[in-house]
Structure 1
Amino acid sequence: MSFVDKYIMPFANKLGNNRHLLAIRDALVGMIAITMIGSLSVLLTNLGQVPGIGKYYQNLMVSLFGERWNTLGSDIWWGTLAFMTIFAVFGIAHKLAKSYGDDGFEAMLVAAASFFVLIPQVANVSITPEGGEAVSGSMWGVISWNYFNATALFTGIIVAIVATEIFVRLAKVKYLVIKLPEGVPPAVSRSFAKLIPGMTTIFVIGLFGLLLRKFISDGAYLNDWINKVLVTPLTGAVDTMPFAILVVLLVHGFWILGLHGPNILGGITTPLMTKLGQENVNMYAQGVKDLGEYNVLAGSFLDAFVYLGGSGATLGLIIAMFIAGRKRNKQILALGTPPGIFQINEPILFGLPIVLNPIWFIPFILGPIIMTVVAYLSISLGLVHPVVADIPWVTPAIVGGLLATGGHISGAVLAAVNLVISVLIYLPFVIAVGRIEARKAKENTSTESTVN
């Protein structure tokens, strides 16, 4: 415990309180309504592809809304997931600026303008006139949607943080602040006060983009260059079993110490898995049939197949206690079961407790690691459909597996198998704890009798 207090706790607290990681995490969490309705629209549009029920579902929707019923889902997807990076830039800049005491409004707009400065104004297009041959060439004012969706999420995060840092620091330089007379409306006065910092920030970002294309990226814009040298290799490393195991190990290691593992690592893992998840959603929306094309460790993978009942798969612990320790854990089960069904497990983590309790270290960490391996192998081998929809983290176990895989029963089966695995891992420890408590109670009774 001395080692933990001296070396691990300070590092974990520092990482968890980093303003940049907090801004990323809070912004992406704040976008939950956008990502959820976007994923739901893709799910509803593509349920017609699910074997067995797909044909009946499609016939029902056609009979209710007509042949073009699926345009609603396409429209919602276009207005939400197709512009995810833009929403992230606004949200991260706003949250980060507020952490410095700024109101965040001007910083949000400046960051968005800085992002647009760094995307190309010309796109290669191909047009096929009716009855003619295809004509290809460059067209000004046409921007690929890949610069707005999750493909550009890393670029958006970097630009939002850098632009906001420059703007906030310049706004604190009193020589750059324009002060208007007292009679000027406050909104106008605030805007002019940050006029020079805002203009300077956008100019600096634009100059950086020009120098990057001239001297470093061989004419490539920032997002394309980042994808080439950073994101593609990093994403390739993310979608691997070792990385999945590492994330699960760190998350539960922090929890054992009483620290919220998902929140501490969320600023790092959320953008990576969100990007892979949105790639799956986009491929599913385009009707890609080859399961090998999809990412495995993507989107809601952990929520659907590993965090069953919350971190540590504590729904398995609850079931194990119902089986072998119901009488002595009545209060914990009464408090922990209802929220545990919806993936909320703080009553179990701190009430049992699991936190800083060495008896529960092994099953709490070992169970999720085994479940991660089983889930990863099941999807990578084609036994289970990949994750193609974003689900709320509070979605109950098994139901989450069904929805995350686009309504495929294989997802529900995998979640059920992992739930059984968690129960089997926790059960021996529940029995062992019962025996330990019974032995202690017997020793206490013997001691009291001797004293009397």
Structure 2
Amino acid sequence: MDNKKQQTGLQKAQQILTKYMGKIAGNKFLLTLRDTFIMASTPLMIAGFAIMISSVILDPANGLIFGAQGLHLGQLIAGGSNKAWLASGFAKELVKLQGVFGLVSNGTMNLNAVLIVAGFAFFGTRRFFRSNKEPIMVSLYALADFFIVLPYNYTGTTASGKTATLINTLNPTFLGQDGIFTGLIMAGLTFWIFNVLQEHHIVITMPDSVPPAVAHSFESLIPGAAAIGMSIVIASIFGAFHTTLPEAIIAGLQKPALAAASTPFFAEIQILTQPLLQWFGIHGTSVWGPIDGLTWNINDNENILGKAHHIYTTLFMNFSVVSSGTLTLGPILAVLIFGKAKDQRAVAKVAIAPGIFNISEPTTYGLPIILNPIYFIPYMLSWQTNFWIAYWLTKAGLIPIIVNNVPWTVPPVLSGLLYSGSWTGAAYQILATAMTIALYMPFVKINDSINEERAAKIAAGEDVGPSMKVKAQ
């Protein structure tokens, strides 16, 4: 009886969650974001495989095959000396080959914000302004507006290690993950201004004798000029304060965290905000990296040198969350074990290979987890539970203080063994993956229920969005 009551309670809870999350997931704005990130996920998957090959197979210093913390094949080839191996011609050729695979990231992951801008303007126009038959024009203007607000003067480091200020040079940092939030803002403003003006016929109307392609180009001039004018105003306002929109966004997110220190409070802020930022499409490490450099990275160095025994470190974060299956294998296996949705299972099958090496982009952008209200709860909870369980196990002395600097691409379980130097570290990562699967399981089923409901509506000929609309047979 108790089991039946428990099962009934779980079913009721699942029905309630399905009902309300279904409404949230059906929100036009969130659907637009979802379509945008799914569109951008394909090149990111390609980049994920390239990173996996470069970091795991080719890296002569830290890779799993040739590296000193992997199978040590490099040392074996060089007769037992790691220094001789790294100086060998073979190792140098591997580094060159890594550079070739790095080009994939330059054209995909490092331009992620550009893809997001074009996609968000396109899908936003299709979903909110269906009368516009040329959404690609809106994407072009959105890209123009995005580039207008980017910083063109910035301080960087030269190849010789010197600091230099570059004038009239685009800061490439904001073309990737750091520019996503700015890109969404500019694309959203662009598609709204452009389409509102067009719907109110504030356009240049051409005679019917003019070819359609030419007519559409002229019709876009006034709405496009208004959108560009808007971006110039935004850039000028921030310029008056000697900054830019993307720099202000990053600074505004970083400053509140600077008041924290290397304490449980600091750790909780990071474990709470890093996945939250990631869920919104902002790379959490871009915000926390400089802060960790002044706090947790110093703790790492003291641990490695034997001067202290800090638990809160960057390496501990990698051990407990990043390399433990929390971000990759957990959600992937949950979908493969419990999921029925063909699209998600297909993504999971593709994502499992890079996922083994902790490359999370195919998972977070492919399912997607980012901006997906269904997976928000397990995504946030998995960070919390796994980090703090690892903390208390370390505090109790069951897991040694993390003192080994292990590449984040080393697979779960093996990385746990290498990070801690103990079988308990490997056992913890097995536990972390299992807990993550358990957290995702009910939400994978909720996603299936929503998909089944959607399929029933499609079969009935109901309108479920511009890309899914069908007619009753």
1:96 has 2:124 as partner: yes
Measure how far apart 1:185 and its partner are.
Answer: 1.8
Measure how far apart 1:94 and its partner are.
Answer: 1.3
Which of 334, 355, 359 pairs up with 1:310?
334
Which of 216, 230, 235 pairs up with 2:253?
230
Measure how far apart 1:88 and its partner are.
Answer: 1.3
Aligned counterparts of 1:277 and 1:126: Cα–Cα separation in 2: 20
Which of 66, 70, 73 pairs up with 1:53?
70
What SS does the aligned partner of 2:154 have?
strand
Give the aligned partner of residue 18 of structure 1: 27
1:211 has 2:212 as partner: no
Task: Check the 8 A contact 1:298/1:387 in 2, yes or no.
Answer: no
1:416 has 2:430 as partner: yes
Measure how far apart 1:167 and its partner are.
Answer: 1.5
Give the residue type in structure 2 aligned to 1:119. Answer: L
When residues 79 and 368 of structure 1 are mapped into structure 2, their CA distance, relative to the original with a 3 A threshold, is closer
Task: Check the 8 A contact 1:303/1:400 in 2, yes or no.
Answer: no
Task: Check the 8 A contact 2:121/2:191 in 1, yes or no.
Answer: yes
When residues 64 and 8 of structure 1 are mapped into structure 2, their CA distance, relative to the original with a 3 A threshold, is closer
Give the aligned partner of residue 243 of structure 2: 220
Task: Check the 8 A contact 1:42/1:74 in 2, yes or no.
Answer: yes
What SS does the aligned partner of 2:249 have?
helix
- Select between 220-229 and 177-186 the one with higher mean Cα deviation: 177-186
Deviations 1:115-141 (A, max 9, x none): 111012223356689xxxx98654433
Give the aligned partner of residue 160 of structure 1: 187
Which of 247, 250, 275 pairs up with 2:283?
275
Task: Check the 8 A contact 2:330/2:434 in 1, yes or no.
Answer: no
What SS does the aligned partner of 1:124 have?
strand
Which of 146, 163, 182 pairs up with 1:115?
146
Aligned counterparts of 1:87 and 1:369: Cα–Cα separation in 2: 29
- Select between 62-71 and 41-50 the one with higher mean Cα deviation: 62-71
Measure how far apart 1:112 and its partner are.
Answer: 0.8
Which of 32, 36, 43 pairs up with 2:45?
36
Task: Check the 8 A contact 1:306/1:368 in 2, yes or no.
Answer: no
Task: Check the 8 A contact 2:122/2:138 in 1, yes or no.
Answer: yes
What SS does the aligned partner of 1:219 have?
coil
1:187 has 2:213 as partner: yes
Aligned counterparts of 1:209 and 1:368: Cα–Cα separation in 2: 34
Measure how far apart 1:203 and its partner are.
Answer: 0.7
Measure how far apart 1:222 and its partner are.
Answer: 0.6
Aligned counterparts of 2:30 and 2:50: Cα–Cα separation in 1: 29
Aligned counterparts of 2:146 and 2:93: Cα–Cα separation in 1: 39
Task: Check the 8 A contact 2:47/2:104 in 1, yes or no.
Answer: yes
Measure how far apart 1:177 and its partner are.
Answer: 1.7
Deviations 1:26-68 (A, max 9, x none): 2122222222222332332222314443542797994896662
Aligned counterparts of 1:207 and 1:149: Cα–Cα separation in 2: 24
Within-5 A mapping of 1:283-322 = 292-293=313-314, 302-304=326-328, 306-307=330-331, 309-310=333-334, 315=337
Measure how far apart 1:385 and its partner are.
Answer: 8.2
Aligned counterparts of 2:39 and 2:19: Cα–Cα separation in 1: 28
Give the greater-gyration-radius structure (CA): 1
- Select between 179-188 and 290-299 the one with higher mean Cα deviation: 290-299
Deviations 1:80-122 (A, max 9, x none): 2222111111111111111121342011111111111101222
Task: Check the 8 A contact 2:250/2:287 in 1, yes or no.
Answer: no
Give the residue type in structure 2 aligned to 1:417. Answer: L
Task: Check the 8 A contact 2:334/2:437 in 1, yes or no.
Answer: no
When residues 116 and 67 of structure 1 are mapped into structure 2, their CA distance, relative to the original with a 3 A threshold, is closer
**TM-score, structure 1 length as denominator?**
0.58
Give the residue type in structure 2 aligned to 1:105. Answer: I
Identical-pair percentage:
17
When residues 179 and 26 of structure 1 are mapped into structure 2, their CA distance, relative to the original with a 3 A threshold, is same
Measure how far apart 1:71 and its partner are.
Answer: 1.3
- Across the aligned residues of Structure 1 and Structure 2, the Cα RMSD in angstroms comes to 5.4
Aligned counterparts of 1:144 and 1:157: Cα–Cα separation in 2: 18
Which of 74, 79, 82 pairs up with 2:102?
74
Aligned counterparts of 1:117 and 1:413: Cα–Cα separation in 2: 51
When residues 194 and 298 of structure 1 are mapped into structure 2, their CA distance, relative to the original with a 3 A threshold, is farther
Aligned counterparts of 1:11 and 1:402: Cα–Cα separation in 2: 37
Give the aligned partner of residue 347 of structure 1: none
1:197 has 2:211 as partner: no
Q: List runs of 5+ in structure 2 lacking aligned partners.
A: 1-8, 78-84, 291-296, 302-312, 350-376, 395-400, 440-473
Measure how far apart 1:377 and its partner are.
Answer: 4.8
When residues 341 and 422 of structure 1 are mapped into structure 2, their CA distance, relative to the original with a 3 A threshold, is farther
Give the aligned partner of residue 143 of structure 1: 170
When residues 122 and 422 of structure 1 are mapped into structure 2, their CA distance, relative to the original with a 3 A threshold, is closer
What SS does the aligned partner of 2:155 have?
strand
**TM-score, structure 2 length as denominator?**
0.56
Aligned counterparts of 1:412 and 1:183: Cα–Cα separation in 2: 72
When residues 194 and 52 of structure 1 are mapped into structure 2, their CA distance, relative to the original with a 3 A threshold, is same
Task: Check the 8 A contact 2:330/2:436 in 1, yes or no.
Answer: no
Measure how far apart 1:201 and its partner are.
Answer: 0.6
Aligned counterparts of 2:74 and 2:176: Cα–Cα separation in 1: 29
Measure how far apart 1:341 and its partner are.
Answer: 11
1:374 has 2:386 as partner: yes
Aligned counterparts of 1:125 and 1:245: Cα–Cα separation in 2: 30
Give the aligned partner of residue 105 of structure 1: 136
Deviations 1:334-392 (A, max 9, x none): x89xx989869xxxxxxxxxxxxxxxxxxxx9999578513565499749989956xxx
Q: List runs of 5+ in structure 1 lacking aligned partners.
A: 249-264, 283-287, 319-331, 345-364, 390-398, 426-452
Task: Check the 8 A contact 1:305/1:375 in 2, yes or no.
Answer: no
